[in-house]
Amino acid sequence: MRKAKIYNPSKTATQSGKGKTKKWILKFESRHGYTNPLMGWESSDDTLSEIQLEFDTKDEAIKYAKKNNITFELIDSKKVNYIIKSYSDNFMKD
């Protein structure tokens, strides 16, 4: 079976909230494509690279991968420390 990545997606730079970061993703690694000799476009016959499965928890994703004999790489998300400040702190001198 193919190798997959299990990760928790980080928020994009254009998002202000963390709405799409709650699910865990199992995504298969893609094989290298080839260049179509007629048109010069990138082509691929790999349909598994288009599949992306969503799970509510990390444990569910790992359980699914083990049940279906999928070798996987687990990528844990980094802990982000937020500094909570008020707007007036921008104008105060230390």
Looking at this protein, which amino acid is placed at residue 51? I
- What's the maximum distance between 2 C-alpha atoms anywhere in the chain? 66
User: Can you give the pLDDT at residue 32?
Assistant: 73
| Local confidence band at 1 (pLDDT 50, 70, 90 cut-offs) | low
- The CATH label, of 3.30.160, 1.10.10, 1.10.8, 3.40.50, for the domain at 3-90 is 3.30.160
Question: Are 22 and 13 a contacting pair, CB within 8 Å?
Answer: no
| Local confidence band at 60 (pLDDT 50, 70, 90 cut-offs) | very high
Ramachandran sector of residue 13 (left: φ over 0; alpha: ψ -120 to 50; beta: rest)? alpha
Residue 15 predicted with pLDDT over 70: no
* Percentage of residues in the chain having pLDDT higher than 70: 91
Average pLDDT over residues 1-29: 81
Provide the token pair at 73.
């790489």
Alpha-carbon distance of 39 to 47, in angstroms, equals 21
Q: Enter the pTM of the model.
A: 0.69
